[in-house]
Structure 1
Amino acid sequence: MAKPRTIGDEDYQTLAAFRYALRRFLAFSERAAKAQGLTAQQHQALLAMKGYGQDRPLAIGDLAEYLMLRHNSAVELVDRLVQAELVERLHAEGDRRRVTLALTPKAEAILQDLSTAHLEELRDSRTLLAQLLERLGG
């Protein structure tokens, strides 16, 4: 059995700084979403739909997995997005029982604005993140 690695003060400082950077980014993200009239979870859902990157459209079950939600919670989230005219439910070709999700043009515009701001925030955080990775030897 391998001996457990000793955790030193620098390790704790690195982890604390990383958690701080994450929280700063998430707080920024929540404020940016709110400014667009969205909750952070709604923004995450729109981003997941746009960035899913699979060969097939995203279904509610896929969204639930991607966001680590229970299926019924994902259904409620999608219901709110449909009501806000940000998402459409579509029936899959060849299987009318399978419902997939598509962003509306309104959602596309909001997501583009949010993503531009988020990428800029990440660029601004690049130095801090690089320093943290350097501490880890990466």
Structure 2
Amino acid sequence: MSDDALTKQDFQRLSHFRYQLRCFLRQSEDICRRHGLTPLQYQLLLHLLGFEGREWASVGELAERLQAKHHGTVALIDRCEQLGLVERRPSHEDRRCIEVHLLPRGAELASRIAEQHQPELRHLQEEFCLPGWPEFR
């Protein structure tokens, strides 16, 4: 065995982390479905709400945030657009770029869902004593 071989405790920590992460994701999926959205639709809205420095994102930026393929992200945006949650707009600076903007209905829905995630986020923060993470309300 090499010096950097994982110990039983390493596996226990990783198992516990993955379990807590899965619990959070399962609860998130349930919250999203109660509001009539898929988890991916919510994540798209969340990334638009939380995009740093501006109120929109490009398809490529959203694909990166979602860790999804470009064409899959386009299809997701299509579905959200049909639901009246987002809209595409041509960029004022670069007409080749399409900006994806959150509409009021999408922002309100994402805010409501995000609020319901706060107790579980507080639990994760306490569970893992994550230094540098902001306090969750």
TM-score (norm 2): 0.86
d(CA) in 2 for partners of 1:35 and 1:23? 18
Aligned position for 1:84: 83
SS in 2 for 1:88: strand
Residues 49 and 55, structure 2, Cα contact 8 Å, conserved in 1: no
SS in 1 for 2:97: strand
Higher relative contact order (CA 8 A, sep 6+): 1
List alignment gaps of at least 5 residues for structure 1. Answer: 134-138
SS in 1 for 2:99: strand
SS in 1 for 2:17: helix
Paired residue type of 2:39: A
Paired residue type of 1:21: Q
Residues 56 and 102, structure 2, Cα contact 8 Å, conserved in 1: no
Tell me which structure has the larger Cα radius of gyration.
Answer: 1
Cα deviation, 1:2-47, whole Å, max 9, x if unaligned, reads: x541322211111111010000000011001101110011111111
Q: 1:126 to 1:94 in 2, by over 3 A?
A: closer
Aligned position for 2:133: none
Aligned position for 1:14: 13
Deviation at 1:55, TM superposition (A): 4.9
Say if 2:63 is the partner of 1:45: no
d(CA) in 2 for partners of 1:49 and 1:123? 23
Between the two proteins, what is the percent identity of the paired residues?
35
Cα deviation, 1:100-134, whole Å, max 9, x if unaligned, reads: 0111111111111111111221113333223xx7x
Question: Following superposition of structure 1 onto structure 2, how do residues 48-63 of structure 1 map, counting pairs within 5 Å?
Answer: 48-55=47-54, 57-63=56-62
Deviation at 1:96, TM superposition (A): 2.6
Paired residue type of 2:76: L
The structure in which a higher percent of residues are helix is 1
d(CA) in 1 for partners of 2:41 and 2:10? 34
List alignment gaps of at least 5 residues for structure 2. Answer: 131-137
